[in-house]
Chains A and B, each alone.
Chain A
Amino acid sequence: MSQAGSYSPTEIVDRTRTWVRENFLYMRPDWKFGDDDPLLGSGVIDSIGVVELVEFLQSAFRIKVADDEIVEQNLGTLTAIGRFVHGKLPGNGTSPAPAQSGEKNTAGAGMLLRPRA
């Protein structure tokens, strides 16, 4: 077992996989679930599950996850999680993928977003 703060990406992936299996795939133990399979698109995790996942990563690996880091690029697959969490550990210095900058509102969005009459 690694000391806190010195997990390898493989260890992060393994612990997360076990946790995902226990909490999200308990009803389908035979589900073939690869490290690069999408967690969301395949229906493994729903949006509430994402909140749980973030809480798990924060407490298991003692990291802080910012709201704008909760994106598919960082948390979409086990491999992505391994890379993202590893980059956040003290001394590893790799910056995680930030959320993409937003586009400007189009006329249509403005219409939908206008204040209630």
Chain B
Amino acid sequence: MCGFAGIARRDASGVAPAVLQRMAAAIRHRGPDGLGAHADARVGLAHARLSIIDLAGGAQPMANGDGTLVIVYNGEIFNFPDLKDELAARGYVFRTRSDTEVLLHAYAEWGEAMLDRLNGQFAFVIYDRRDGSLFLTRDRFGILPLYYAERGGDLYFGSEVKALLASGEVPRALDPAGLDEVFTFWAARPPRTPFLGICALEPGCCARWHGGRLTIRRWYTLDFAARAAEQPGALEQLAELMHSGVRQRLLADVPVGGYLSGGLDSSAVCALATRESSAELRTFSVAFADPRFDESAHQEAVAAAVRSRHAVQHIGPADIAQVFPEVIRHTETPLVRTAPAPLYLLSRLARERGIKVVLSGEGADELFYGYDLFKETVVRQFCLRQPDSTTRPRLFDRLYPYLAPGTRAGDFWRRFFLSAGSTDDPLFSHLPRFRLTAWIKEFYSAEFRAGLDGFDALGELRDALPPAFAGWSTLQRAAYLEMVTLLSPYLLSSQGDRMAMAHGVEARVPYLDHRVFEFAAALPDRSKLRGLQEKEILRRWAANVLPASAAQRTKQPYRAPDVPAFFGRAEGEPPAYVAELLDESALKRGGIFDPAAARGLVRRCRTGQATGVREGQALVAILSTQLWQREFLETPLESGAMRYESGRFVLAN
């Protein structure tokens, strides 16, 4: 995997090599093995390479034989050997062993329709010199990133926002709506980002830039047209898909490792990887000093069962606070959770042990209803059918046994779920989470709140739902919302690509092979959630791959300490930046949060009173926003710097 960046000019005014160099240097961590550039009067392309396949021959930017097409590409096409055979049979000549060259010829042969043939995780830009256009695209689920900004007909693009900013031609400004979405969904919803005027290409979309104009279209749609009953042979089909998906994802000219969380999904992937590969598998896990978050006993049991060479990244009391500024530099967005930080340290460990590629279990919980959110949705629906029942709400206690208040907060705890929203709301499944997260907004400064001027993140999401949504089941809707609001913009980005690529490690996600998604989406709900048993069919399959203890293990959410990471007693004094950024004058300069409100929160954090999710996420949000502003915005937010027009913020001048 790699990083790329570039500029396309409407007028033939050229792209200075120094600009391209700056852009590539900003994302050098993504590709420490080599830098390359291509520039002519209109288009400049830069590439930072992480060599995984065809170490000698895959340098980029790469042109086809007659030089009419030039590509910069980040990712892997797992079915490229088949595509290569097909293209070779049609007369294309290959000079390298890389999948990059396959993309060039595939584009020459099939044009944009090539996308339907690709199985992989990718973002790439092809410069078509025949008509001077650019073709930009991103994989189906947004595993890999692609950002762009338009300015006066010129197009700026890159794997990370920092590449665009490094051009010196894209302004650094915050998008209040983007931040408001972070404090609603945990991440801005593509195409929006927290940066004003900088967009994320939506997963499953492609764009054509021609003559100063950008046209975007969706090439892949998430569809949940389920069958009424599980088809005979479904289990065998799942087994075949998983074996084939993992086998394809082991394809590399460097050793491949695996992330092991201790849960079913990553355990099954690692078990398959050891079966499909002759080499010894290296596995990596995060272990927490705090037993409430730790899963190391399960991780070690699975590592022993799959006979991997296992390494553990221990997360001590002070580790999260120490790396948090670096984490924000890589996520390029404020956060409401610290969970990316341990993964930042984990990829560093993998890289130190010589591993550039890891398999991860991401995606299974969305496809097979693994998250508590799916069960919570069913229980809320069940309770709301008999609103006076006092027995039904007790099911919530069973759903969240790891959350301490379950017993002592009694009635109130359950009421939270029941009062979160009506079953008629299309966002029903996600309203408890969205409302819990939105409590952060209580800390907004009056000016920032006024600047949002009626922006409604939930309303915009409702308006953006696809036409088919209304026909889906409640759980299918929940899966869709989970994929577009959390999986793509947060889990695959802030916890996925960004933390792995911070240390030049490529994460591959077998469950997000689109064939697995399409298989899962066509299953009836009860094959995924039976009663309150999550991932039903996946468990049936995993029973043949894993020891019973691992295959039957109940999902434990991956969490990391929040308030204790910065204000815990065992940590001693927090790092200097914490006090500096939470200082009244720093908050005032930032302009987003009310200093007095933040002071109240810090007081409760210091005295150990802030123990709940609400205050934990508020602290992480405020601190990460301050870090993010310091890192990415040169100037503080000034009132009147932007205005809200026809559904989006624009710079006032």
Chain A contacts to B: CB under 8 angstroms: 23, 26-29, 40-41, 43, 45-52, 54, 67-68, 70-72, 75, 99-106, 108-109, 111-114, 116-117
Q: List residues of chain B with CB within 8 A of the CB of A40.
A: 412, 415-416, 419
Q: List residues of chain B with CB within 8 A of the CB of A111.
A: 531
Interface size of B by Cβ–Cβ distance < 8 Å? 47
Report which of A50, A75, A103, A112 forms a contact with B395, defined as CB distance below 8 A.
Answer: A112
- Take A26-B600, A67-B410, A72-B412 as given contacts and tell me if A48 and B390 are in contact as well, using a CB distance cutoff of 8 Å: no
What are the 10 tightest A-B residue pairs by CB atom distance, in nearest-first order?
A26-B600, A48-B612, A27-B597, A47-B413, A47-B409, A70-B410, A50-B409, A50-B412, A71-B411, A47-B405
Q: List residues of chain B with CB within 8 A of the CB of A52.
A: 609
B442, A48: Cβ atoms under 8 Å?
A: no
Apart from A72-B415, A99-B390, A106-B392, what are 6 other A-B pairs with CB-CB below 8 Å? A43-B435, A48-B405, A70-B410, A72-B411, A99-B411, A112-B378
A sample of 23 inter-chain contacts (CB < 8 A) reads: A26-B604, A27-B596, A28-B597, A40-B415, A43-B439, A46-B613, A47-B416, A48-B612, A51-B404, A52-B609, A68-B410, A70-B409, A70-B410, A72-B411, A75-B412, A100-B390, A102-B394, A106-B389, A109-B382, A109-B392, A111-B531, A113-B398, A114-B531
- Distance A116 CA – B548 CA, assembled complex (angstroms): 14
- Distance A50 CA – B407 CA, assembled complex (angstroms): 11
- Distance A15 CA – B31 CA, assembled complex (angstroms): 60
Nearest to B400 among chain A residues (CB) is A47
- Distance A43 CA – B390 CA, assembled complex (angstroms): 21
- Take A46-B416, A48-B614, A105-B391 as given contacts and tell me if A27 and B408 are in contact as well, using a CB distance cutoff of 8 Å: no
* CB under 8 Å from chain A, chain B span 412-458: 412-413, 415-416, 419, 435-436, 439, 442-443
Q: List residues of chain A with CB within 8 A of the CB of B395.
A: 109, 112-113
- Take A46-B416, A116-B533 as given contacts and tell me if A28 and B612 are in contact as well, using a CB distance cutoff of 8 Å: no
**B623 interfacial by beta-carbon distance below 8 Å:** no
A71, B614: Cβ atoms under 8 Å?
A: no
Nearest to B375 among chain A residues (CB) is A112
- Distance A44 CA – B408 CA, assembled complex (angstroms): 18
Nearest to B616 among chain A residues (CB) is A48
**B215 interfacial by beta-carbon distance below 8 Å:** no
- Take A54-B408, A103-B389, A109-B391 as given contacts and tell me if A23 and B413 are in contact as well, using a CB distance cutoff of 8 Å: no
How distant is B100 from chain A, measured CB to nearest CB, in Å?
Answer: 48
B407, A104: Cβ atoms under 8 Å?
A: no
How distant is B609 from chain A, measured CB to nearest CB, in Å?
Answer: 7
- Distance A81 CA – B186 CA, assembled complex (angstroms): 35
A51, B390: Cβ atoms under 8 Å?
A: no
- Distance A51 CA – B530 CA, assembled complex (angstroms): 33
B412, A70: Cβ atoms under 8 Å?
A: yes
- Distance A100 CA – B410 CA, assembled complex (angstroms): 12
- Take A27-B600, A28-B442, A41-B419 as given contacts and tell me if A49 and B612 are in contact as well, using a CB distance cutoff of 8 Å: yes
- Distance A103 CA – B383 CA, assembled complex (angstroms): 13
- Distance A101 CA – B411 CA, assembled complex (angstroms): 13
Q: List residues of chain B with CB within 8 A of the CB of A75.
A: 412
Q: List residues of chain B with CB within 8 A of the CB of A41.
A: 415, 419
B412, A106: Cβ atoms under 8 Å?
A: no
Nearest to A114 among chain B residues (CB) is B531
Q: List residues of chain B with CB within 8 A of the CB of A23.
A: 604, 609
Q: List residues of chain A with CB within 8 A of the CB of B390.
A: 99-103
Nearest to A39 among chain B residues (CB) is B412
How distant is B401 from chain A, measured CB to nearest CB, in Å?
Answer: 13
A106, B386: Cβ atoms under 8 Å?
A: yes
- Distance A47 CA – B410 CA, assembled complex (angstroms): 8
Q: List residues of chain A with CB within 8 A of the CB of B412.
A: 40, 45, 47, 50, 70, 72, 75
Nearest to B435 among chain A residues (CB) is A43
Report which of B379, B415, B435 forms a contact with A112, defined as CB distance below 8 A.
Answer: B379
- Distance A112 CA – B393 CA, assembled complex (angstroms): 12
**B611 interfacial by beta-carbon distance below 8 Å:** yes
Nearest to A101 among chain B residues (CB) is B390
Q: List residues of chain B with CB within 8 A of the CB of A50.
A: 405, 408-410, 412-413
How distant is B443 from chain A, measured CB to nearest CB, in Å?
Answer: 5
- Distance A114 CA – B596 CA, assembled complex (angstroms): 50
* CB under 8 Å from chain A, chain B span 84-132: none
- Distance A101 CA – B611 CA, assembled complex (angstroms): 31
- Distance A111 CA – B392 CA, assembled complex (angstroms): 12
Mask of B608-649 contacts with A, CB within 8 angstroms, 1/0? 010111100000000000000000000000000000000000
Q: List residues of chain B with CB within 8 A of the CB of A106.
A: 386, 389, 392
**B532 interfacial by beta-carbon distance below 8 Å:** yes
**B238 interfacial by beta-carbon distance below 8 Å:** no
How distant is B39 from chain A, measured CB to nearest CB, in Å?
Answer: 51
Q: List residues of chain A with CB within 8 A of the CB of B603.
A: 26
**B601 interfacial by beta-carbon distance below 8 Å:** yes
A51, B531: Cβ atoms under 8 Å?
A: no
- Distance A46 CA – B437 CA, assembled complex (angstroms): 12
- Distance A41 CA – B411 CA, assembled complex (angstroms): 12
* CB under 8 Å from chain A, chain B span 41-84: none
**B594 interfacial by beta-carbon distance below 8 Å:** yes
Report which of B379, B443, B533 forms a contact with A27, defined as CB distance below 8 A.
Answer: B443
* CB under 8 Å from chain A, chain B span 370-397: 378-379, 382, 385-386, 389-392, 394-395
How distant is B617 from chain A, measured CB to nearest CB, in Å?
Answer: 11
B391, A103: Cβ atoms under 8 Å?
A: yes
B614, A46: Cβ atoms under 8 Å?
A: yes
Report which of A67, A99, A100, A104 forms a contact with B408, defined as CB distance below 8 A.
Answer: A67
- Distance A72 CA – B392 CA, assembled complex (angstroms): 17
- Distance A70 CA – B600 CA, assembled complex (angstroms): 27
Q: List residues of chain B with CB within 8 A of the CB of A48.
A: 405, 409, 611-614
Q: List residues of chain A with CB within 8 A of the CB of B419.
A: 40-41
* CB under 8 Å from chain A, chain B span 509-545: 530-533
Mask of B583-606 contacts with A, CB within 8 angstroms, 1/0? 000000000001011101101100
A26, A27, A52: most-surrounded residue (chain B CB, <10 A): A27
- Distance A100 CA – B604 CA, assembled complex (angstroms): 34
B410, A108: Cβ atoms under 8 Å?
A: no
Q: List residues of chain A with CB within 8 A of the CB of B413.
A: 47, 50
Nearest to A26 among chain B residues (CB) is B600
Q: List residues of chain A with CB within 8 A of the CB of B532.
A: 112
- Distance A108 CA – B407 CA, assembled complex (angstroms): 23
Nearest to A45 among chain B residues (CB) is B412
- Distance A101 CA – B388 CA, assembled complex (angstroms): 12
* CB under 8 Å from chain A, chain B span 558-601: 594, 596-598, 600-601
- Distance A45 CA – B436 CA, assembled complex (angstroms): 11
How distant is A24 from chain B, measured CB to nearest CB, in Å?
Answer: 10
- Take A27-B597, A50-B413 as given contacts and tell me if A108 and B612 are in contact as well, using a CB distance cutoff of 8 Å: no
- Distance A52 CA – B609 CA, assembled complex (angstroms): 9
- Distance A71 CA – B413 CA, assembled complex (angstroms): 10
